[in-house]
Amino acid sequence: MAKRIAYLGPPGTNSEEAAARYDPAAIRLPFPSVTAVADAVQSGMAEEGVVAIENSIEGSVNDTLDLLIHEAPLFIRWELVVPIEHCLLVKPGAHAPDVKVIYSHPQALGQCRRFLARTFPTAQLVASLSTAAAVEQVLASKTPAAAIASRRAADLYPVELLARGIQDNPYNVTRFVVLAHEDHGQTGSDKTSLCLSFAEDKPGQLYKAVGAFALRGINLAKIESRPAKDALGRYIFLVDVEGHRNDPLVREALEELKGYVSMLKVFGSYPKYKNSV
C-alpha cells in the first residue's frame, strides 16, 4: 500500500507541491489546517505530514512552530525547499480594475505586499486558510475578487490567470518539513532542530546554552525566539544545529544543555536539504 501523506489543502497549495516532490508515489490527503495535518499523522490517518516552517521573505511560519513547541508529539523526519511563484487568479472574464477583494494565505499576502500596494491599493485583503482555499472563496464571492495562489491551482480550478510571478522577491522559497512519529536515522549530513527556555531571566544564560555547541565545534544553522505565552517577557528559543542528535558531540552538547535550561525539546534530526535554490 502506498504511503499516505497529509498536507495543508485543498489541492493546489504549495504544500501539496512539496508533498509531491517529497514522495511522488504517495497518496496525498488534504487537510484544512496545520493542526489538522498533525492530527492526521498522530491518529494514524496518514504516515507523514508535510507543513511549511519557514519562508525566505516572511520568515517562520508561526502555526507550525507553535505546533512543534506546544502541541504535537511528532518529530521532523525530513526537510525540503520549494521555490514559490505566486499567481493572481480571477473568475473567467474578470478584469483587474474590477477587483475589490483579494484572498490568500497570510504568508502569501505578505510575500506579495509591495505588488498589492502598487497595483491594488484600495482592495480589501482577506486571509484564507490556504492559497487554494482562497481560490474557492473567489469562485463563491459575489464581489469581484482575486486570489493569490499557485500555478497548479490555475490548472485545477475554473479560473483565469491574471498575472504570475507577483511575489516581491524573485528569490522566494519556502522550507517545508515532514512530520512523523519518528525522526530520521544518521546519514552523516544531518540537522537537528530543538527548542529551549529558561526558568528565569539571568545574564549569560543564552551564552552558556549556545556555548555548549560552540565549544564542540557544532555550527548553529539558525536561532530565533518566540514568546513563551505564559508570561510577558519570557521566551522560547528555537535552534537548528548541524549534526544528528545521536552524533557523540551533539549528544554531549544536549546533555550539557539540560543543566542550563528549564525546558528542552528536540523536534528531530533529519538529512540536511542539499539542492537549495
Per residue in 10-35, is it b (16+ CB within 10 Å) or e — as a string?
bebbbbbbbbbebbeebebbbbeebb
> Secondary structure of the chain: what % helix, strand, coil (to 5)?
30, 35, 40
End-to-end CA distance of the chain: 33
Q: Is 174 a catalytic residue?
A: yes
- Residue 72 CA to residue 90 CA, distance in Å, equals 37
Catalytic residue among 75, 120, 176, 267: 176
The set of residues, in sequence order, having a beta carbon less than 8 Å from that of 6 and lying 6+ positions away, is 29, 30, 31, 36, 37, 40, 41, 45, 46, 48, 49, 50
Q: Is 213 a catalytic residue?
A: no
Contact 41, 47 (CB under 8 A): yes
CA angle 152, 33, 35 (to 5 degrees): 140
Catalytic residue among 174, 192, 213, 267: 174
Strands (E), 22-157: 27-31, 48-55, 59-60, 75-83, 87-90, 101-104, 124-127, 145-149
- Residue 30 CA to residue 13 CA, distance in Å, equals 9
Any idea which residues carry the catalytic annotation?
174, 176
